[in-house]
Structures are given as C-alpha cells and as structure tokens.
Structure 1
Amino acid sequence: MAQKDAHAMILDAIDRGEFSPGDRLVESELADRFGVSRTPVREALQRLETQSVLVRDGRSLIVATLSHDQMAELYAVRTELEALAARLAAQHAAREEISVLRQMVEEDAALIGDANALARANRRFHGQIHLASHNRYLIQQLGMVHRSMALMATTSLAAEGRGPAALGEHQAIVEAIAARDGDAAADALRQHLSLAFETRLREEARKI
C-alpha cells in the first residue's frame, strides 16, 4: 500500500468524524484498522504532523484542535477562495454541472434533522462548486483548506435552524451561477460562509 493511500485513509477518517480533535492516533492500531503495514502509516503520520493536522502530546500524536484565532483565520481564507470558485463557476460551469448542483440542493432537503449527513452533503456541494470553477490550482488550495476544516469538532449545521437556512443559501449560490453572474455568486458564497462562521461562534460561546 503506497504512502499516499495511508495518508488519504487517515485524512478521510478524520473528515468523516471517526477521529476527533484530541484523539490519539497509534501507529499499530491504524495499521490494523486499514490493513496496511506500519511503515506507510508511520510515514503518513509524519506527513500529517508537518501539515499541522496532527500535533505532539508528549510522545503521542493527536488530532489537532483549532484555536479561536486559527478558526477565524481559516474562515477568512476559505471565504475568499470559495468566493473565487463561485465566480469562476459562473463563468465556466457546464450546463450539466449546474444541473447537478441544483439536484444536490433538492436532495439535501431530505437530510434536514441529520446534522452529520447534512455536513457530508454540504462538503459534496462545496466540492462540486470547486470542480465547476475549472481551475486546478484553486481546487488544490481549497482541498487544503477543507482538510483543516475537519479539525473543527462540530458542524455549524448542528445548530437549531441552521440546516434549512444553509440550504436556502446554497440555492441562492446555484441560481447566481446559473445566471452566469459572477459577482452575485461570489457575494452569495461570502454571505453563506459569514453566516456559518457566525453560527459557529455563537455555538462556541455557549460552551464558555
């Protein structure tokens, strides 16, 4: 099994919530879990540490937790990159890609009430916009940003009322892309992420 496969499997497990911020990752346990030898797992863990997905806690490696400032910085970068993706999608998305985005919004309505399923659907929706931008370098950068988003322990979509509101915002983004209005698509995306960030901040404040 190649190193990149072990790396991808660990990242995917973090992204799906199987490993949460603060969880300790043990080389031998991961090798058994994924059915690979310990060498590629060891190399993957080292790579994830250099990418700040994992951090040291004594001799152990644990899944990193984002501080308040890190979360704010991440949203600032994500917002501008995603807005650019929406703008480019309005210019370059194929008719079929827009149709898929519309279908996603319609189908995701059935997931309201299941925050985890809605969060997975949300990642797919945003990923589809990234692809519709048809800019490989932007897609690469957004992939790195979304990998860091997995380090947030909870989804903003778990907040009461956020699911239906988010889907309405998704609809506005899609309609702007379909209208080939890059400015409106970028603005709709920025507004969507601003509201998501505000929701997350309120939820975090309740824990204090």
Structure 2
Amino acid sequence: MIALLALESCDQRFLSPTVGNPRVIFCEMCHGSKPSRRALALEWIATGEVDMQRRTTVYIQSAQHRRDPTEQRMDELPVSTSRRLPRKSGATRKASPYERLKQAIMSGELPPGEPLVELALAEWCNVSRTPVREALTRLEQDGLIQRNDRGLIVRESSPEEILDIYDTRIVLESKAAAVAAERRTSIDLVAMRRAEERAHRVDTDDPHALAERNREFHRTVWRASRNESLIDLLERLNLHLGRYPATTLAYPGRQDTSHVEHHDLVDAIEARDPETASAIATRHFTAARDIRLRLWESE
C-alpha cells in the first residue's frame, strides 16, 4: 500500500511504498518550531488527501535527512501509482439530507403542516430512503417536525408555541447577559461593539440581513458568558424560532429601538452590572415576543 509522507520541512511531498500499516509522517522539527506548517499539514489531511481513519501518525526528527532509499518523489512516480488525487480547493461538499431538509423547513420552502413522505424526499434529495429516514429522526428530535395521524409533517405554528418559545428565551437570554457581565473579557467587548455596529449599519430593506446581523450580535453576548450549556440551549431554541422566517426587526420602529437596547446591553456588560444587563435583555425579548404575536395574527 502507498503511504503519504508530509515532509513539510523541505517543502516536498513523498509517496513511500511500505510494508504493513501505512503511516503518515510529519517532521517533528516543523511541528515544534513551525506551527503554521503543522497547520498546513492538517489542512492537507482535511482536504482528503490522507484518510486518517486508515493511517497512524508518526513523527520523525529530520524529514530532510531520513529519506528511505525506496522512496520516490511524487512527481517521479507514474500517475497510476497515486492512490488519490487532491481535491480542488474550490470543491464544495454536497449538503446532507438532514441539512437540506432543515434549511427547507427554516426557509419556509417546506411550510408548516407539509406531509413528509420518505420516498418523495429521497427523490428530491437524490439519495436512498435510509439517509432520509435518519434525517427525519434527527429533525423530529430537534422539534422541527412532528407526527400526527397522517404520519410525519412539518411542525405547525401556533400562538401558544410562540409564547412558550419566547418565555423560555427571555429566561435564557437574561441569564446569558447577566453571566456575560460577570465573565466578559476586553476581547468580548470588542466583539460585541463590532457586532452592534454591523447590526446598526445593515440595510433595513433586507429582512434576511437584519435577522442575520441580529443573531450575530446576540451570539457575541452568549460567547461572553462562557457557559457552553447555556449556549447549546440557546442554539437549539434558535431552531424553533427559525420556523418563523419573518423578522421582528422589520416591524415599524423596532430596528431603532433594538439598536438602543443593544447599545445599553453592552454598556451594562462592560460595567459588570449583571442586574441591569439581565433587565435590559428581559425588556428586549419581551418586546420581541409581543411583536412576534402581532406578526402571527396578521398572517
């Protein structure tokens, strides 16, 4: 079998016929003194040139002076001996059935109440029924689809659900703001200020951009809390909110009010005032809940 030696110290790549278990060899000198080259080697693996599931990693001291006599440079070998060609840098990974179906639900392409039939979805995703079945199981666990007497359907919307989602979000967001005020760093403040400014400058005629910049800002607050459990819960809650594509920021006057609240929230976090930060977050998301209910009633 062919083993691939990533000898980055001399900027050469080798293919080495070996007996037994193939090895991926990195130069220890590069690993110890050239972190950037080590990163390049890992990127090489990530692009698919090396299958780490079938190889072990071995370090050597000097790649340049320990070349085995049986080794040949890659460009000296016939093309037929190359086990795998590198992927093109611009190649994109095909979306999985789970990702494709989730995006269709979030965008409204698959509307609430839409029946989800395995065979039809498999043809739509151009895959067999097995990965579609697995994707539906995950989506049901995420709460994006549900079962009724007809089978699986996209989860339907209701004012009761909006209240449930926002009541939970108010608790989590206020807690995240309070913890961020206690744990934030100066770098967190820079990230929040920049996200706040980007949200303020966004084109108000682009609802998608408004929503994306708003999510970006609130994620900087979550990250400042340094509470992974809290962040995970908030991300999962975002999946449910994603089924309501209309953004509350498009509501008349909401964008300006939201910007003031964002600014005040960052001020409270900067001042390490958890009580004020929590109160601002509670007020901010209570207003968002009320607007969301008005939007649902007008649909």
TM-score (norm 1): 0.83
Give the aligned partner of residue 296 of structure 2: 204
Instruction: Report the Cα offset of residue 43 of structure 1.
Output: 0.7
Give the aligned partner of residue 243 of structure 2: 151
Q: How does 1:60-139 map to 2 (within 5 A)?
A: 61-111=152-202, 112-139=204-231
Q: List runs of 5+ in structure 2 lacking aligned partners.
A: 1-95
Separation (CA, whole Å) in 1 of partners of 2:143 and 2:213:
25
Contact 2:106 2:245 in 1 (8 A): no
Instruction: Report the Cα offset of residue 182 of structure 1.
Output: 0.7
Give the aligned partner of residue 26 of structure 2: none
Contact 1:113 1:163 in 2 (8 A): no
Give the aligned partner of residue 280 of structure 2: 188
Give the aligned partner of residue 165 of structure 1: 257
Give the aligned partner of residue 61 of structure 2: none
SS at match of 2:205: coil
Give the length in aligned residue pairs.
Answer: 203
* From 150, 160, 177, the counterpart of 2:269: 177
1:201/1:59 Cα in 2 relative to 1: closer, same or farther (>3 Å)? closer
Separation (CA, whole Å) in 2 of partners of 1:129 and 1:13:
28
Contact 1:86 1:177 in 2 (8 A): yes
RMSD: 2.5
Q: Which has the higher helix share?
A: 1
User: Bigger relative contact order, structure 1 or 2, given CA contacts below 8 A and separation 6+?
Assistant: 1
Separation (CA, whole Å) in 2 of partners of 1:13 and 1:94:
38
Separation (CA, whole Å) in 2 of partners of 1:31 and 1:131:
37
Q: Which has the higher strand share?
A: 2
The CA deviation string for residues 2-45 of structure 1, in whole angstroms up to 9 with x for no partner, is xxx65455435544555443445554665577676542332121
Contact 1:63 1:151 in 2 (8 A): no
Contact 2:144 2:155 in 1 (8 A): yes
SS at match of 1:160: coil
TM-score (norm 2): 0.60
1:103/1:60 Cα in 2 relative to 1: closer, same or farther (>3 Å)? same
Give the aligned partner of residue 112 of structure 2: 21
Instruction: Report the Cα offset of residue 54 of structure 1.
Output: 0.5
Separation (CA, whole Å) in 1 of partners of 2:192 and 2:257:
17
SS at match of 1:90: helix
Separation (CA, whole Å) in 1 of partners of 2:196 and 2:240:
24
Bigger Cα Rg:
2
